[in-house]
Structure 1
């Protein structure tokens, strides 16, 4: 298989995993927003993050979700923390799992990072619970 075919295979696999984790509406919005400027970046993250790392055997989606949340929280990537908290509805990571990950963040990356992550998660949970109860968020 040539390199282009490998990249296309990874891209297709990545898109499938990305949709299963983040959901079709999120991915559709992202795809609709792609421009010529950022298309290579979007292809890169779909192939590398989703088609290579998230698609690997060894960790379940739940485990990858927990690790991803801890890393994003530790690095202070707030928008990504919120997105991946929402994704736990698809990955099987529970609120208890998220809490435990953020407690680890507090010890290994600092209380301010964990404090921010807890705040973001609480906001996202509130939105998710409102949506679940038939309320628009």
Structure 2
């Protein structure tokens, strides 16, 4: 059973970070098979962690980019690089986060992440930094 207030907060945060177009698409693709999973990530990731007051959306965005890059989650990394347009994290912020990935998670992970970030930033005209 969903926690309505946590779900509503999560949906609001999710929309503010990922944008209405992305969230509307994810919602439209939801099926009975993944409905519980979609509720879980909206409540847990977006309604609990991303909605906490301790860090700004910019800071959470930079952490998320670094973690996804370090773990090799390319599709999610691309999505969160796109989301930086909504969180205030700049291309320079992304670059600094990925330099940390190179030191702490390895050059191959950072190399792949830089490629993905450059592609995503170029799509919005900001990948030349």
User: TM-score range, shorter-chain basis?
Assistant: over 0.9
Q: TM-score scaled by structure 2?
A: 0.95
- How far the C-alpha of 1:126 sits from its partner, in A, is 1.4
Q: Which residue of structure 2 lines up, in the alignment, with residue 67 of structure 1?
A: 63
The alignment status of 1:17 with 2:6, answered yes or no, reads: no
Structure 2 residue ranges without an equivalent (≥5)? none
CA displacement 1:24-80 (0-9 Å, x = unmatched): 000000000000000000000000000000000010000000000000000000001
Report the TM-score when normalising by structure 1.
Answer: 0.89
Secondary structure of the residue aligned to 1:68 is: helix
Where do 5+ consecutive residues of structure 1 fail to align? 131-137
1:110 and 2:106 aligned? yes
Q: How far off is 1:128 after superposition?
A: 1.4
- Runs of 4+ with deviation above 6 angstroms: none
Within-5 A mapping of 1:1-137: 7-129=3-125
Deviations for 1:90-112, whole angstroms, at most 9, x for unmatched residues? 00000000000000000000000
When the two chains are superposed, the root-mean-square deviation of aligned CA atoms in Å is: 1.2
